[in-house]
Structure 1
Amino acid sequence: MRERHTTETAVERHGTDRARQPRPGKPAEARRAVERAVTERCRATRTPCDADALSDAVLVASELTTNAILHGGGLTDFRVDVDGPSVRLSVSDRSDALPVVREPTDPQGRRRAGGRGWPIVCRLARDVRVSDLPSGGKCITVVVPLV
């Protein structure tokens, strides 16, 4: 499997330690899955949840699932794993195309709608990896710090 890195650091694969979640049909379901996973882990470890860090992780999940639905031909897999002081999210879609940063204006100078999601993901995630899937499409895996 060919992997394309969008940052200099890559996420280590941990095989089966990531929990497969029911595939969300919409970004709101992805947000709830991340909230649930993080708050359950905080409760189980009796550690406080940082509300700002949780908000970052929820926003990243929302942006990744929205992009998969709108630009990636549909969401094909979704995983969330809280691993110590971070949350690992993996979102797969049907498209082989890499995410791109779009200019905020078109060639005529008019403001474009959208185009802010991928920069948000790259800014909030510590690690970002885009991998081709054997059956086509891609998987984007990110790690968002929770502290």
Structure 2
Amino acid sequence: MNGEQEVPRDGERSARGPEEAVGPPAWTAPPGTTHAPGVPRNAAAARDIVSRLLEEEFCGLGGEAPADVVVADALLVTSELVTNAVRHGGGLMAFSATITDDGLLLTVGDASTRAPVTAEHTTTLHIGGYGWELVRRLAARVSVTYHEDGKNIVALVALV
């Protein structure tokens, strides 16, 4: 699997070392800071980056742009990953978005070594806890790589 570690739909595995790293190396924040240079400050800024990237990539291609629902899925995955990094991961430490032959490749790094959690919902109304489940459903592929100072989550969103 080219050094990637897939997260099974029903479980989790931690990476066994740097040879399993996915995405760019983690950025290490200087003492007393939590924000990496060039990393968006919040989910809205990350969505703007992805929106501009999609627009630049597909502008001028005539009718070949991704459908609105596909773009909405890409923006939702972006928003969920960044929001989870900020709320539950100790802060957003890395972010990249690139277009590949397979789709939109997102890498989000945070400062937590805790695995993403899928909340178990009962029949009662539950607010929150659906983000990781949404990411896993909407992304064609998701992998998590753990390192000493946190983790990187890489999600591939198909653009067809």
TM over 0.5, shorter chain:
yes
Match of 1:138 in 2: 151
Superposition deviation, residue 84 in structure 1: 2.7
Match of 1:36 in 2: 52
TM-score scaled to structure 2, two decimals?
A: 0.74
- Asked if residue 71 in structure 1 is aligned to residue 88 in structure 2, the reply is yes
Q: Which runs of 5+ in 1 are unaligned?
A: 16-20
**CA-to-aligned-CA distance 1:102-128 (integer Å, 9 cap, x gap):** 1224xxx86432100000000000000
Contact 2:4 2:143 in 1 (8 A): yes
For the structure 1 residues 82 and 44, does the alpha-carbon distance in structure 2 shift closer, same or farther, using more than 3 Å as the test? Answer: farther
Superposition deviation, residue 101 in structure 1: 0.6
TM-score scaled to structure 1, two decimals?
A: 0.80
Q: Structure 2: how far apart are the matches of 1:85 and 1:138? A: 23
Match of 1:7 in 2: 8
Match of 2:75 in 1: 58
Task: Indicate the structure with greater strand content.
Answer: 1
Match of 1:119 in 2: 133
Of residues 102, 116, 135, the one that matches 1:99 is 116
Contact 1:3 1:132 in 2 (8 A): no
Match of 2:12 in 1: none
Q: Structure 1: how far apart are the matches of 2:41 and 2:118? A: 25
Q: Structure 2: how far apart are the matches of 1:141 and 1:27? A: 16
Q: Structure 1: how far apart are the matches of 2:152 and 2:70? A: 23
In structure 1, give the amino acid aligned to 2:130.
Answer: R
Secondary structure of residue in 1 paired with 2:53: helix
In structure 2, give the amino acid aligned to 1:49.
Answer: P
Contact 2:22 2:145 in 1 (8 A): no
What is the count of residue pairs matched by the alignment?
Answer: 134
Q: Which runs of 5+ in 2 are unaligned?
A: 10-20, 25-36
Contact 1:28 1:62 in 2 (8 A): yes
Give the superposed CA RMSD: 2.6
